[in-house]
Amino acid sequence: MSELSLGWPDLVGFVGVAFLLSSYAGLQFGKISAEAPLYSVLNALAALLILFSLIFSFNAASFVIELFWLIISLVGLVRSLRKRAKESE
């Protein structure tokens, strides 16, 4: 049996996982709105931190999904902020 060894990049990735799970749980339990900037920010940070960890232990499929997760989250954030700006006019 091999020994499990986790380094600091893994810990950064786990923080990203915590952000991802927190945002999804918040959405499902009605604590965060999908239209709120916080939801997109948490998702973008999650993807960014997981992508960072993947640099040290690369997995192509995981990298691709996290890259698109980051892009989609940033698009969602921009849309959310634009909507807020229009509503405050």
Distance (Å, whole) CA 44 – CA 71: 8
pLDDT for 1: 61
Backbone φ/ψ region at 57: left (φ over 0), alpha (ψ -120 to 50), beta: beta
pLDDT for 3: 81
Q: Rg of the chain's alpha carbons, rounded to an integer? A: 15
Please, which pLDDT band fits residue 4 given cuts at 50, 70 and 90? confident
Distance (Å, whole) CA 48 – CA 86: 28
Q: What is the pLDDT of residues 19-70, one digit of tens each?
A: 999 999 999 999 999 999 999 999 999 999 999 999 999 999 999 999 999 9
pTM of the full structure: 0.91
Domain boundaries, the chain: 9-88
Distance (Å, whole) CA 75 – CA 61: 21
pLDDT for 59: 97
